Structure 1
Amino acid sequence: MAMRLLIIAEGATLAHVGRPLLVAEEAVRRGWHVVFARPRSYAWMTRNAAFDVVDLDAQSPEVFARRLASGSPLYDLATLDAYVDADRTLVRTHRPDAVIGDFRLSLAVSARLEGCRYATLSNAYWSPYCVMDGRWPVPDIPMTRFMPIGLAEVLFNLVRPLAFGLHASPMRQLRAKYGLSPSGVDLQTAYTDADLVCYCDFPGLFELKDAPSTHIVVGPLVWSPDVPVPEHWMQLRDDRPVVYFTLGSSGRADLAVSAARALAEQGHQVIMSSAGRPISPGGLPGVFLSDMLPGEAACARASVVVCNGGSPTTQQALLAGRPVVAVPTNLDQFLNMSALQKHGLGRVVRSDRFSPERLCAAVAEMSAATGDSASRFHASHAVRSAAAVIAGQLEHS
């Protein structure tokens, strides 16, 4: 009998729908029955799906972004409690053999209440078993705007355990409400509380210590929108360097125009994706704007990739053997870029210290770097895709 799989894509950002989409496609190739739940605002991503798709009630990306920017817990108890009801209804309706979630934190409770195997997609830098070198990086938060970064980082690390506890508090309350122990649930365990934890990162990029066998690094799940290469790419000249520029769905969109202008003035041709956000460079010469781009093709066409530092675009860059310059804002992006900097794969221009001059200097530096390090991580990617690894784990567990 074919395996039945329920996938719940929270939709906080594009990546939280794109990654599970790849798993769904792999499951269908294996002959499984797949039900894919995603917010209605992402219907365009599943328009040609070869599996069943249902709408999912979820907090909007805009609310998620506001909570992230303000330093508030990303979900309150009322939201998570409503998620549990919705999750349980989906499980009872579709009776899956397993459920996969991508940042659907409520599944740690709802899947267990329904006795259903639960796998989560995550990143290794959120693992409680990830080895951190020194202090955690301080993200773009109010205090970094008026004090030296070194001092802000010291203060951030002093208050971080308390802040992480505050962020995990709604999950502890949720567990207690449904009779599950809240003891020991901090932010990292809340993000990775599942029967199978799949870290969607390149092997060797992050170090895990004493991780149980249920925590596995599966490789990157790199999704790109199914859109054609823009016709205006035909205007790109071979005698001038190309930069692929995108701040994705969660970067500082207000910096995009000044960044693109500065790169163009330095002689770069800028192929730019707004990721569906209202960005308009106003017809700047040398800047080629699209709403969405095929990310892998864009990385391959460029010599340097400029992005927000999140794992989706940086992984596309590494697969193309391209170095990264990041303009990160949130902690997730800073954590990802810490590893890339450590391995010589990228440079950071902090969003709270951004200037066009700093960006251009970082791009010039990375343009001069070879792609050897990036190619090494490309070569380390398993022949089987991450989606196939995840499917195999579920099939044999």
Structure 2
Amino acid sequence: MNIADHRKRILFVAEAVTLAHVTRLAELAGGLDLKRYEIFFACDNSSKYFHPQPTFTHFNIHSISPKLFRKALEKGSPLYNYETLKGYVQEDLRILDKIKPDLVVGDFRLSLAVSAPQRKIPYAAVTNAYWSPYYIERWAPFPEHLLGRILGVTIASALFRLAQPIVFARHARAMNRLRETNGLPPLGDLRHVYTHGDYTLYLDVPSLVPIVNAPSNHYYLGPIVKAPSISLPDWWDEVPADQPCVYVSFGSSGAVEKLLEVIKGLSEIRPPLFLMISTAGRTEINFTSKNIRAASYIRGSDAARLSQLVISNGGTTAGYQALAEGVPVLGIPSNMDQYLAQMAITKAGAGRLLRAGKVNALAVRNASSEILNSTGYYTTARRLAAEFTHYDAIKNFCAFVDKVLTK
């Protein structure tokens, strides 16, 4: 009998609207013992973030485009309407019926909160604790939005705080309607929708993103900091060992239009910095300098290890890679997820936050200089790096799967 007949089946479903949702789920899947588990991975194959893994059985599903996703974020509109989520559920059910998995694990595939219970399959939602309704910070930050440019950030932030219950309920309306249509109870507001599952798995550490009074089916796995398996750029050996380095990455969803301001601000710092820039294929660096090197993708962990500062979109991918190496983070967030992540890092004392809508070369220069010349940021970053070593996300995920599937 084929070994696959004895193995438990696990389906991973990634919503390919950002690079992180795909890569971190692939890292979790890749850590499982293939002698015990048969791995299926569903993702939008048309996404540039999708890279087939030879040890997985792949299924193609539809995701909204990253461009449409970013546009909705910029407008502050709900990311998904009822019809889109309904279509997602139909696709989910097609794959669930074909595979009949013992467990389904999703990263921002919100429709699994309908499709998995319809087939009575346990569902684990992979997310970040700052989205949790049990997160210790009650109020969400005001992200980049037209209202901020019209009224100013201070007034717009105050209005957003007053309107937060209404805004969060509006963003959850389509999912709650879909659940009720399928005979399931509504979940609550946006935070419940983003984190709901039979199990909720947080890719964070508790001291950085603490939750309180959470149910026993909520688990901290720890950060995923391993970089995807890509080749190092051909200029990698040119990175100097005797010059301070800064790694810059706005990722797949950051305010890449601010990259030139960042480069200009960093170029004014003395002694000169060596810049390693990852563009995620979203822009071109059309000038050359002995102190600047760029590539579409750079292994973030390796770049952070060589750097004294990491400048990012504020999100957890580059941010946690930096902290794992004991390196502070200057975050320039634009969307809510990035603001939540960078605010946690900033509050901990491991970095600074600059609003994308207001950032300029002078602000970048001043904030970067402050971090580079302060021991406090490095002390905190190193403390968090030590804590990260106690939360091996892959090992903890494997233990979680073993526990769930051997009940």
Task: Place the TM-score, normalised by the shorter chain, in its bin.
Answer: over 0.9
Match of 1:139 among 143, 155, 167: 143
Q: Does 1:219 align with 2:237?
A: no
The answer to whether the 8 A contact 2:223-2:391 is kept is: no
Alignment partner, residue 172 of structure 1: 176
Deviation at 1:279, TM superposition (A): 3.0
The DSSP-based 3-state class of the residue aligned with 2:46 is helix
Distance 1:29 1:287 in 2: 42
Alpha carbons 1:244, 1:298 under 8 Å: kept: yes
Counterpart for residue 386 of structure 1 = 393
User: Which letter maps to 2:231?
Assistant: P
1:243 to 243, 246, 259: 246
Work out whether 1:336 is the aligned partner of 2:320. Answer: no
Which amino acid is the alignment partner of residue 161 of structure 1? P
Quote how far apart the aligned CAs of 1:148 are: 3.7
Is contact 2:103-2:123 (8 Å) kept? yes
Residues 250-259 or 89-98, more deviating: 250-259
Q: Tell me, in whole angstroms, the C-alpha distance in 1 between the residues paired with 2:23 and 2:374.
A: 30
1:79-136 residue CA offsets vs partner (Å, 9 max, x unmatched): 1000000101111101110000000000001000011000010000000001116x43
Q: Distance in 2 between matches of 1:43 and 1:357?
A: 34
Q: Is the 8 A contact 1:325 1:362 kept in 2?
A: yes
- 8 Å contact from structure 1 (residues 253, 279) kept in 2: no
1:306 aligns with 2:311: yes
For residues 349 and 173 of structure 1, the distance between their equivalents in structure 2, rounded to whole angstroms, comes to 37
Whole-angstrom distance in 1 between the partners of 2:386 and 2:319: 16
- SS of residue matched to 2:242: coil
Q: Distance in 2 between matches of 1:393 and 1:129?
A: 21
Correspondence 1:360 to 2:365: yes
- Mean alpha-carbon deviation: is it higher for 297-306 or for 223-232? 223-232
Compute the TM-score of the two structures, normalised by the length of structure 1: 0.95
Q: What's the counterpart of residue 185 of structure 1? A: 188
RMSD, aligned α-carbons: 1.7
One-letter amino acid of the counterpart of residue 191, structure 2: Q
* Aligned partner of 2:60 among 48, 55, 58: 55
Paired residues for 1:1-397 under 5 Å: 1-29=6-34, 31-42=36-47, 45-132=50-137, 135-182=139-186, 184-266=187-269, 267-370=272-375, 371-383=378-390, 385-397=392-404
CA distance in 1: counterparts of 2:162 and 2:310, whole angstroms:
34
1:41 Cα deviation after fit: 3.0
- State how far apart, in whole Å, the 1-side matches of 2:326 and 2:54 are: 30
Q: Given that residues 268 and 365 in structure 2 are in contact (C-alpha distance below 8 angstroms), is that contact kept between their aligned partners in structure 1?
A: no
Structure 2 gaps, min length 5: 1-5
- For residues 231 and 7 of structure 1, the distance between their equivalents in structure 2, rounded to whole angstroms, comes to 34
Q: How far apart are the structure 2 equivalents of 1:39 and 1:322?
A: 34
Task: Measure how far apart 1:189 and its partner are.
Answer: 0.5
Q: Which deviates more, 217-226 or 9-18?
A: 217-226
Local SS of the residue matching 1:306: strand
Taking structure 2 as the reference length, what is the TM-score of the superposition?
0.93
Q: CA deviation at 1:375?
A: 1.7
Q: Show the counterpart of 2:3.
A: none
% identical equivalent positions? 33
Distance (whole Å) between structure 2 residues aligned to residue 194 and residue 251 of structure 1: 28
